[in-house]
Amino acid sequence: MNFIYDLHRTMMSQKLILVYQGDFTQESTKSILSMAERNLDSSGEESSIKRKVFNVMVEALQNIVKHSDELVDGQVRSHAAIFLIGKEANRYSIMSGNPVQKTNVPKLKKNLEQINGLDKDGLKELYKEIIKNTTISDKGGAGLGFVDMARKSGGKLEFEFPEMNADYCFFCLKVNVPRDNE
């Protein structure tokens, strides 16, 4: 039973205010968003900050639902992943993790590195370009969500791809939203 206390201590030390681990569906996503919204409302956060945090959360959750590759530890599951929100004195951190096939990692990494290499104006131009030149596929909007997260946060997207097994990596994404209006 010690793991419960260990988990609690980890959550406290990492300043986590919401953690969900499991299957991500449209229904569970709605529940997560409403819990987070209540948490933000009760904290008395400025509405412009709340809006940015909420927008980044929506994009991160949609990313899990749309892009999570479904094989985990040899079992087929529907979007088994993790979503976390951290709140520190100067920022909120929206974090997610989901399995992706190793074959998808290079393209994903390239997109994220391209986004991180752009300034505010570059992101705006890329956003317009994607909207103008893309027919949105079944899997989503060609990286539009990542661009939007970078624009809303005003910072770089942090990411890693730790190996799960021979075929899969775990895509870890962290987006920080400042708590001051700059």
Nearest by Cα to 174 from 112, 107, 123: 112
SS (H, E, C) 135-147: CCECCECCCHHHH
pLDDT band at 84 (very low <50, low <70, confident <90, very high): very high
Are the C-beta atoms of 147 and 126 separated by less than 8 Å?
Answer: yes
Q: What is the pLDDT of residue 138?
A: 46
Question: pLDDT for 24-54, tens place per residue?
Answer: 888 889 999 999 988 888 888 899 999 999 9
Any idea which residue has 């899969």 for tokens?
Answer: 168
Helix (H) or strand (E) holding 95: strand 91-101
Beta bridge mates, 171: 98
Q: Which fold has domain 1-178?
A: Heat Shock Protein 90 (3.30.565)
Residue type, 36: A
The tokens for 73 are 């530890």
Please provide the average confidence, as pLDDT, over all residues in the chain: 86
> What is the identity of the amino acid at 22?
G
Domain coordinates of the chain in residue numbers?
1-178
- Residue with more model confidence, 25 or 139: 25
**Is residue 55 very low, low, confident or very high in pLDDT (cuts 50, 70, 90)?**
very high
Sheet holding 158-160, edge to edge: 16-23, 80-87, 91-101, 168-178, 158-160
Comparison of pLDDT for 127 and 65, the residue scoring more: 127
